[in-house]
Amino acid sequence: MRTFVYTSRPSRVVFGAGTVRRVRDEAERLGCSRVLLLSSPALPEASARVRRTLGDMLVAEFDGAAMHTPVEVTEQALDVLTQASADGIVAIGGGSTTGLSKALALRTDLPQVVLPTTYAGSEVTPVLGETRDGRKVTQSSPSILPETVVYDVDFTLTLPLPMTVTSGVNALAHAVEALYSSDANPVTDQQALDAISRIARALPRLTADPADPEARADLLHAAWLAGTCLATVGMGLHHKLCHTLGGSFDLPHAETHTVVLPHAMAYNAPAVPGVMRRIADALGVPDAPSGVYDLVASLGGPTSLRDLGLPEWSLAHAAELAVSTPYPNPRKLTAEDMAELLTDAWHGRRPEGPPSTEAGLARLTEQVVASFARAPEPRVRTLLSDLVRHLHTFVATNDVTDAEWQYAIDFLTRTGQLCSPTRQEFVLLSDTLGVSSAVDLLTNSRTPTTTPSAVLGPFYVEGPPEAAHGSDISGGLPGIPLWADVRITGTDGEPVKDAVVDVWQSNKEGFYDVQLPDLDGPVLRARLRTHADGRIRFWSILPSEYPIPDDGPVGHMLGAVERHPYRAPHLHFMIDAPGHRRLVTQLFVSGGAYLDSDTVFGVKDELVVDFAPQTGPTPDGRQVEGQWRRLDYTFRIAPLAD
Ligand code: NAD
């Protein structure tokens, strides 16, 4: 049984996107009517939004917060607060602005509403570190803790990527040290592990798209959880080292956390192997300290104290300071050990972890994804990053061998080599894998009031011959005569004039003209235009089922999985009308073969229609011996505004 003590901190948290709208209500809830706003010059728009929301409640503003909360700055802000007779503080910004708010609250006991814009976590702790005469002194008091925190995810979207990474690792450090704290308890353990997983998930996504709102929300949520851990349990070696380096050597806060964390973890790891395993699991890596180092490196974050500007000669002094006052830490500390740790951190050495393929692969994936970070087009960045992640996962989960990958490359090479103006093997590949139909489903079939679309297929040829109404597009090829009477209407049922309708189909044996080199010119394909009645009428022949070309790599693939290559019989249509969205679709012959197993997955129930058998007189008086078929159909096409 585990014995523990848990003290919760009484902050109120409002979390979401656009939550800035609630700031005035939250300030009123704390009894404020005259508010001092601590704003941030780096966040002009966000500060303006807070200003607008506060309205006439805002009586004074101060925008000079500085890192490590120098007391001179606090005194200036206190003057502004006193002269304005403010009865509450609202602060928007990173840990520095929050620190100033806390310093003012400590001196005045006024209530605070804080809107954090980084992941430092200070907003939920009752701790304040102030710098006086170059020395940073930390104290804790209930009056320091902000009463209300408004997390508005929108305000973090502008945080530059390097700062996002270092601030995110700052939050990670709170969660990591909470897990091996001497005050650790089941509640903070869960919060810490949740925070670690969210950070590990969000940071790589943000390097691909820094404005990804879900990843931003994940990271801000993690910052709150990690800050809560920091507020609830004592921290160890890592925070002590960062405090020393920041306070005595003026190193930047979040960057220092980012460099030191893997080394502090590696030092403590032998004393808390179980905790390190849980951290590694939450991060999704085999080894926690080297996993954190790899994560930072793959995100382009800082890995050496040298790069942060720390002179090498100061390492010994920093090591002495780090052990000058005792504090709880899972592993005993000596100045020699600290000097060694700081030397590793100064050089940016990777902590030794067990060599592992997974770690190497994760690093490789993130390096490739990071290589897209500067792509100016966000959509390109997202698609390429996601494609690479899926491909790497595919290769890893299937343990793809060298020979298999070479085979795949050879397969794609042959697919490309077979493509020509009349043979599109890549379209066939996309069709037979169902990708064309998937893209079609997602992009074209979202309007329930229009005729469903279907894939274009590989046999469309630009600029088919113009045909007159009532003409025969079969070029005299044998087959059951087909009379098509087709109407094009809008979603309102009104006929669409001047629609350009391209039609194409296979012959009785299932071949398209482009597959028949002996044919003279285009056959069984035509372009007709609608008049005011929205109709086109033409003669053709009944299409039949046919195999897609199966003498290439795609046919090979179908054979290897014992799939037939047949398409259900159908007629293709492409309809372009002024003011309307293009419709590409197919009409399938009801009762035809392969409707259930069309090899390109193109059949949709609504597109299976009667090609009704007829005998006797035809609509235009043409003489037909025996049976003929009749297709009557109305296409509903969407206006462009939809
Ligand atoms: P910071 O507040 O100094 O911000 C760094 C820079 O980023 C600033 O120029 C800031 O204006 C800018 N910035 C902040 N949010 C931005 C955004 N969304 N978009 C664009 N620019 C933005 O840095 P920090 O790391 O958040 O805070 C560090 C300070 O917080 C240190 O003084 C540290 O000691 C303190 N801190 C205290 C605690 C605690 O519990 N007492 C905890 C963590 C940090």
What pLDDT, on a 0 to 100 scale, did the predictor assign at position 330?
96
Of ligand 1's listed atoms, the one at least distance from the Cα of 254 is 25
Q: Considering the chain, what percentage of its residues have pLDDT values greater than 90?
A: 80
Q: Model pTM?
A: 0.62
* pLDDT tens-digit map of 576-621: 999 999 999 999 999 999 999 999 998 999 999 999 999 999 999 9
- According to the model, what pLDDT value does residue 100 have? 98
Nearest Cα to Cα of residue 83 among 36, 41, 39: 36
User: Which strands, in side-by-side order, build the sheet including 612-614?
Assistant: 535-541, 481-489, 628-636, 612-614
Instruction: List, for residues 244-276, the tens digit of each pLDDT value.
Output: 998 888 899 999 999 999 999 999 999 999 999
All structural domains of the chain, each given as residue ranges with its CATH number in brackets, are 1-156 (3.40.50.1970), 161-400 (1.20.1090.10), 435-637 (2.60.130.10)
| pLDDT on residue 500 | 98
Given a cut of 80, whether residue 519 has pLDDT beyond it is: no
Q: How far is the CA of 170 from the centre of ligand 1 (A)?
A: 10
| Joined tokens for residue 318 | 């920093």
Q: Is the pLDDT of residue 218 over 90?
A: yes
Residue whose tokens read 């929205």: 534
Half-sphere exposure of 434 (CA within 13 A, CB side): 5
* pLDDT confidence of residue 356: 64
The whole-number pLDDT of residue 446 equals 63
Residue 99 · residue 253 · CB < 8 Å: no
Position in ligand 1 atom list of the atom nearest CA 166 = 25
Q: What is the pLDDT of residue 440?
A: 84
Closest C-alpha to 270, from 387, 362, 353: 353
- Report the amino acid identity of residue 246: G
* pLDDT one-digit tens code per residue, 317-348: 999 998 998 889 999 999 999 999 999 999 99
Q: Give pLDDT tens digits for 460-493.
A: 999 999 999 999 999 989 999 999 999 999 999 9
pLDDT in tens, 334-391: 999 999 999 999 999 999 876 667 667 877 888 898 899 888 999 999 999 999 999 9
SS3 130: strand
With H, G, I as helix, E, B as strand and everything else as coil, classify residue 590. coil
What is the reported pLDDT for 359? 67
Give the ligand 1 atom nearest the CA of 67.
Answer: 32
pLDDT at 3: 84
**The tokens 């969407």 sit on which residue?**
638
Q: What is the pLDDT of residue 387?
A: 94
3-state secondary structure 292-354: HHHHHHHCCCCCCCCCCCCCHHHHHHHHHHHCCCCCCCCCCCCHHHHHHHHHHHHHCCCCCCC
Give the pLDDT score at 208: 85
Contacts of residue 57, Cβ cutoff 8 Å, sequence gap at least 6: 24, 27, 28, 32, 33, 34, 35
Over residues 28-54, mean pLDDT: 96
Of 9, 38, 62, 122, best ligand 1 pocket probe by most atoms within 8 Å of the beta carbon: 122
Residue 385 Cα distances to 169, 369, 436, angstroms: 22, 5, 21
540-561 average pLDDT score: 94
Q: How far is CA 587 from the centre of its chain?
A: 37
Q: What percent of the chain has pLDDT over 70?
A: 99
Closest atom of ligand 1 to 246 CA is 34
- Residue 448 is predicted with a pLDDT of 77
Mean of all residue pLDDT scores within the chain: 93
Of 82-91, 351-360, 437-446, 604-613, where does mean pLDDT reach its minimum? 351-360
Pocket probe mutation, ligand 1, options 50, 69, 117, 259, max atoms within 8 Å of Cβ:
117
Pocket test for ligand 1, best of 50, 67, 154, 241 (most atoms within 8 A of CB): 67
More confident site: 513 or 198: 198
Point out the ligand 1 atom lying closest to the alpha carbon of residue 128: 41
Q: Identify the residues whose C-beta falls under 6 Å from ligand 1.
A: 40, 42-43, 67-68, 93-97, 99, 117-118, 120-122, 125, 127-129, 155-156, 158-159, 163, 167, 170, 230, 253-254
Between the CA of 95 and the centroid of ligand 1 the distance, in Å, is: 4
* pLDDT at 443 (0 to 100): 76
Distance CA 326, CA 182 (A): 14
Are 569 and 592 within 8 A, CB to CB?
yes
User: What's the rounded Cα separation, in Å, for the pair 179 and 165?
Assistant: 21
